[in-house]
Amino acid sequence: MLNPIGRPPGAALTGLALRGYALRGRLMATGGTATMAGRVDIVMPAHDVAAFIDEAIRSVLAQDRWRLRLYVLDDASIDDTAARVRRWARRDPRVTLVQVEHHDVNATRNEGIALGDGEYLTFLDADDVLRPGALRDLVASLESTGSDFAVGSYDRLVGGRRVAPAPWIDTAHAVARPATALADFPDIMVNAVQWTKLYRRSFWNAAGLRFPLGGHFQDQLVSARAYARATSFDVLARRTVDWRIRDDGSSMTQQGARAAAVRDRFTSAIGALDVLEREAGAGVSDRRAAQFLSNDAAIAASELRRMDEAAFAALRTGLSALVERAGAQVLGEVPQRTRALFDLVLADDQAEAIAWLDRREAADA
């Protein structure tokens, strides 16, 4: 069987096929058939991403799921991001540009959410890339199961080359798990970013989901509430997004060695644990605490060489609070060598902690 533009199911998409999907979407939208039912609203916050935003928008419009609206919210860019989006909006009525001055990606996302009324809601950062067929597969999963949201995996995009994500992400998505629940599969909590998830807007609204204003890593709080409040969700065994790792380290998610980002990482983690304990129980919260310590806190500690005095102090304070919150039993689930590094951080010995990292990396080489 062939699809509407003649591609056998499962065949690779060519550039011509992608352009065909984009053209069909423009024609359908112009004809007024992009109704709320079945439509996907994509919220894309943007700030000084002129070098990347064309690729991001192109990846959305080339989806073979044509019923979509892309809301690009340009938050006080000083480059030509807005001009580039305007060119796309003139060509394709599915693209809407909104210029804001929040200076906060969380407030920008909240404003974008309020703009649409489609049946489904998702997010994409303006420097990332939506993989071909991603919306098709996410929507198809929800239509099959009736779940509240679906979550896919991702790759990292480094210098134009795809690189596998952290191993715990691959493990969480090794097997498709339709219509599962948090109590049945708490390991999925390691996927806490919003740009891998497609929500039913009815669930998003009923669950009272919203991005807390200010700071980094607020995805953690939104994901904790979504996982805890969903009756069921679908875990896909495929990548849906390429997450760009910028060469200059300028994206918010790459600023992990700055004091404010370090503080936010631990504040959001403890906030997420409070949500999970209150809404899903102590067992789920403890499982997430072990994930935070083994993964997120370990990543933060690995940035020691780039931390100034204020950032190291924030790391020590945040780690101390998280260890105390988790308790000895949960800490015992953390790999021993990670605990050894934590001991040095908690002892306020940054120099020895860096030396320990150097020795470990030499041994692993």
Q: What is the pLDDT of residue 274?
A: 98
Q: What is the pLDDT of residue 26?
A: 58
Strand (E) positions, 101-211?
120-123, 129-130, 149-158, 161-163, 177-180, 197-200
Q: What is the pLDDT of residue 239?
A: 98
Q: What CA–CA distance (Å, rounded) separates 302 from 257?
A: 9
Q: What is the pLDDT of residue 3?
A: 33
Q: What CA–CA distance (Å, rounded) separates 19 from 62?
A: 6
Per the CB < 8 A criterion, the answer to whether 245 and 158 are in contact is yes
Q: What is the pLDDT of residue 247?
A: 73
Residue 165, token pair as written in the block: 């994500």
Q: What is the pLDDT of residue 5?
A: 30
Per the CB < 8 A criterion, the answer to whether 182 and 189 are in contact is yes
Q: What angle do CA 357, 363, 364 make, to 5 degrees?
A: 90
Q: What is the pLDDT of residue 8?
A: 34
Q: What is the pLDDT of residue 4?
A: 30
Domain spans, the chain = 15-253, 255-364
Spell out the CATH class of 15-253: alpha beta
Which residues of the chain carry a pLDDT beneath 70? Answer: 1-35, 248-256
Q: What is the pLDDT of residue 6?
A: 31
Residue 177 φ/ψ, nearest 5 degrees: -130, 85
